[in-house]
A and B are shown apart, each in its own frame.
Chain A
Amino acid sequence: MNLWNKLMCYSRRHSPWLFHMNGGSCNGCDIELIASLTPRYDAEQLGVRLEGSPRHADILCITGPITHNATNAIKTVYDQVCGPKAVIAIGSCPATTNVFIDSRTLEGPLSKHIPVDVFVPGCPPRPDAIIQGVAKAAEILAERAGKKQPIAPVVPVVMPLVGPGCGGACACGTGAEAKEPEIVGKSGEMRSSGAEALIDPVGFIRGMNPPPPSGLNSSATSSAEARNEEVQA
C-alpha cells in the first residue's frame, strides 16, 4: 500500500460525514443521534459532521422500522450517497422492526433493502453506542478504500451500554448488567445461514412476543409470517 492510499485510509477514518434519514422512526433514535453531537458527547472530536445533503455524506444513518412509504426514499437516498459509503442501522427498529414486527405497514427490516454495515441496537441506543457505531463504520470505510462496494458487507453489531432507557424490547439483552460496549459479531454470517449462532434478531423478538391469536387478522398474520420466513432464509 503506497503512501497516498495510507493517507486516504487515515483521512476516511478521521472524517466520517453523516446523513441522517428517518425510516418511520418514533423520533427516539433521532434525538439520540442529535444528542451524540451535543457538548456532552461531542462526536465532532472524531471529525463527525452531520451533513444536509446525501451527496456529501460517507455514512448513511437510518432509524425506524422502514415503513412502506419510506422504502423507495431509502433506496433513492442510498444511491445518492457517493461511494465509498457505509450504512448504520440505528436502533432496534431497522435491525428487527422491533415491537412493530407484525404491522402490515412495514417493509422492514432494513437489510432487506440495502446492505447494512453496522447495527447499533437499543430502544433507543445510547449516544455513546451510536458514536461507537460511527467509529466502526468509519473503519469499515477505510478498509473499503479503492475497492468496489461489496454486495454482502461485513456487519458487526455494536452492543451498547445497557441503561434504563432500554425498554427491553430490543436485541441488546434485556436486563443485562451495564457493561462496556463491545463488538459482538460479524454478520456477513448474520445474513447467511449461521445466524442462530450469533444473534437472530427476528427470532429474538418472536421469542419475546407470543404470536398473535389466530383468526384475529389472518391475512396480515400470514403475510407477516411469510415475510419473517423470507427474512430468516
Chain B
Amino acid sequence: MNLTTALARLLIFPGLLFAVPAAWFFLWMERKSVALMQGRIGPPFMQPFFDFIKLLGKDTPPRRGVGGMLMKAWPLIAVSAAAGAVGLLPVLPSRGGFEGDLILLLALLELPSMCIIAAGFSSGSIFGEIGSAREAVLSVSYNVVFLLAIVSIAASQHTFSLSALALLPASPLRWLGVLAIIVCLPAKLHINPFSLPNAEQEIYSGPMTEYAGPELAMWELSHGLEWVAATGLVATLIAPQVAFWGLGVLIFVGLCFGLVLLLSVVAAATARLQIDTTVRFYWQCTLIFAVLAVASALFMRFKS
C-alpha cells in the first residue's frame, strides 16, 4: 500500500486531472455527435467548459435552513462519488495504492443517482419531486439488471476484485454480463430513450429545476464524470491486457470513446419512452437474460 500511488490514481490518472477534461470531452462528444446525426454543425469543442465556467459565475437563489444546506450538499456529494468511482478504475497496472473492489465501485456509481433523487425532493419544487419519483422508479428497474450482470461477471470469474477482473481473460459469460451492463447504461446516464427524470420541456428539468449557478455546474460535472465512470467500467471489463501501460491507456480511452459514440447514436435515434414502457423493458425483456447469466455462472461454478 503506497499513499503516493493512491493519491496519484485519485488525483491524476484516471482520477480528477484526467476525469474532469474527459467528462467535458464526453459531454461535448455526445452533443456534437447528436448534432451531426441531425444534420447540424453542433457546439464548439470547448462548449462544456464554457458552460461550466459561466455557471460558476452565476448567482444562486438564497437558500436557508437545513433544506438549503442539503440542496448545496447533494451536488458536491454526487461529484465526489463520481470522481471516486473514476479513480477506482484499474486502468494502470496497480503496484500498491488503494484497491477498491467491484462493490465499492458500484456503490460510488449509484451515489449520484441517489443524490439526484434526494435533490429533487429537497428542492420542494413539484417538478423536482416528479423527476425524483421517476428517477427512483428508473433506478429500481435498471439496477436489478445491472447488479445481476455484475454478479454474474464476478461469479463466473470467482472474484470481486477490480484489478483481478481486469487481468483475467474474458470468458463468454463475461461478454453476456457486459452486454447487459451496456443495455443499462442509457438509463444510468439519463439519455434517450430513458431520459425520463430530466425530461426537458415535459417536467421543466426534473430534479434540477431549482438548481442554478455553481450548484448546477456541479451537477453537469457529476453527469460528465458519470459518463467517464460508466463507460470506463465497461472498457475495463472488455479491454485486453497489454504489457506496455501506455498502450493500455490508449486502448482504455479508445474503448470509452467508442462507447460514447454508440450511446450517442442510440440517444439520437430514439425518442423518450414512457415510464411504464421503461420498467417493462427492463423487467420483462432484459431481466430474463440477466437471470440466465447469473444462473449459468453459478451453475458453472458449482460444476467446477
Q: Which residues of A contact B (CB under 8 A)?
A: 7-8, 10-12, 14-15, 17, 39, 42, 44-45, 47, 50-53, 55-56, 58, 80, 82-84, 145
Contact = CB atoms under 8 A, between A and B. Distances in A.
A43 to B, nearest CB: 9
Contacts, number: 89
B176 interface: no
Contact of A55 (B49, B57, B61): B61
Contacts of B50: 10-11, 14-15, 47
20 contacts: A8-B56, A8-B57, A11-B51, A11-B57, A14-B44, A17-B51, A39-B40, A42-B42, A45-B42, A52-B201, A52-B202, A53-B208, A53-B210, A55-B61, A56-B208, A56-B211, A82-B61, A82-B212, A83-B59, A145-B57
Interface stretch (B31-39, B241-249, B270-278): B31-39
Given A14-B47, A82-B60, A82-B213, 14 more contacts: A10-B50, A11-B53, A14-B46, A15-B50, A39-B38, A42-B35, A42-B42, A44-B35, A45-B44, A47-B44, A53-B210, A55-B216, A56-B208, A82-B212
Interface in B184-227: 200-205, 208-213, 216
B280 interface: no
Contacts of A56: 205, 208, 211-212, 216
A83 B38 CA distance: 33
Given A44-B43, A45-B42, A15 B54 contact: yes
A50 B203 CA distance: 14
Contact of B58 (A42, A50, A51, A58): A58
A8 B43 CA distance: 18
Contacts of A10: 50
Contact of A44 (B31, B61, B127): B31
Contacts of A39: 38-40
B50 to A, nearest CB: 4
A11 B54 contact: yes
B59 A8 contact: no
A70 B62 CA distance: 25
Contact of A45 (B41, B53, B56, B57): B41
A8 B200 contact: no
Nearest to B32: A44
B205 A53 contact: yes
Contact of A83 (B54, B58, B203, B211): B58
B74 to A, nearest CB: 15
A146 B155 CA distance: 57
Contact of A12 (B31, B57, B212): B57
A28 B208 CA distance: 30
Contacts of A15: 47, 50-51, 54
- Which 5 residue pairs spanning A and B have beta carbons closest together? A11-B53, A55-B212, A52-B200, A52-B205, A11-B54
B135 to A, nearest CB: 15
Q: Report which residue of B38, B210, B212, B213 has the largest number of chain A beta carbons within 10 angstroms of its beta carbon.
A: B212
B20 to A, nearest CB: 16
A47 B200 contact: no
A52 B204 contact: yes
A143 to B, nearest CB: 13
A47 B49 CA distance: 11
Contacts of B49: 11
B262 to A, nearest CB: 22
A199 B298 CA distance: 79
B212 A51 contact: no
B45 to A, nearest CB: 11
Contacts of A50: 201
A83 B204 CA distance: 20
A55 B40 contact: no
A189 to B, nearest CB: 29
Contacts of B210: 53, 55
Nearest to A45: B41
Nearest to A20: B201
B205 A51 contact: yes
A26 B210 CA distance: 29
Interface string B49-83: 11101101111110000000000000000000000
A57 to B, nearest CB: 9
B43 A47 contact: yes
